Amino acid sequence: MSRVVIFAAVVAVAGCATQLQIVGPYANQLSQSDIQQINALITPSKGTSHLYTTLEAIRPDQVLVKYGGYRRSIEGVYTSDRSSQYFTAFKRNGRWIAGGEFGMESTITVY
């Protein structure tokens, strides 16, 4: 897979003000279609801004997806606290599905 396809995917996502990073030993084996299917599995959160997405290709058919940004306070204002969510995507019969462990990591600053 060429870097041009990965660059095109990054440019497309950057247009939405979200940074996309594709890493891991099998990163160059993900096609543009794979990247689009995996990104479609991400569920937006009302409690966190969506500033970045990292796709870590662990195997040709397994990608750790981590995405997040800043937390939103009870009043609805974004804070300086970072928050991210993660899950594993698996390729089955040519399609990507979310599965495995789902989780959330968050930093809370107390003044």
Coil, helix or strand at residue 29: helix
Task: Please give the Cα distance from 22 to 25 (Å, whole number).
Answer: 10
**Tokens standing for 20?**
């996309």
Of all residues in the chain, the percent with pLDDT exceeding 70 is 77
Q: What is the pLDDT of residues 39-84, one digit of tens each?
A: 999 987 777 778 889 999 999 999 999 998 877 777 777 677 778 8
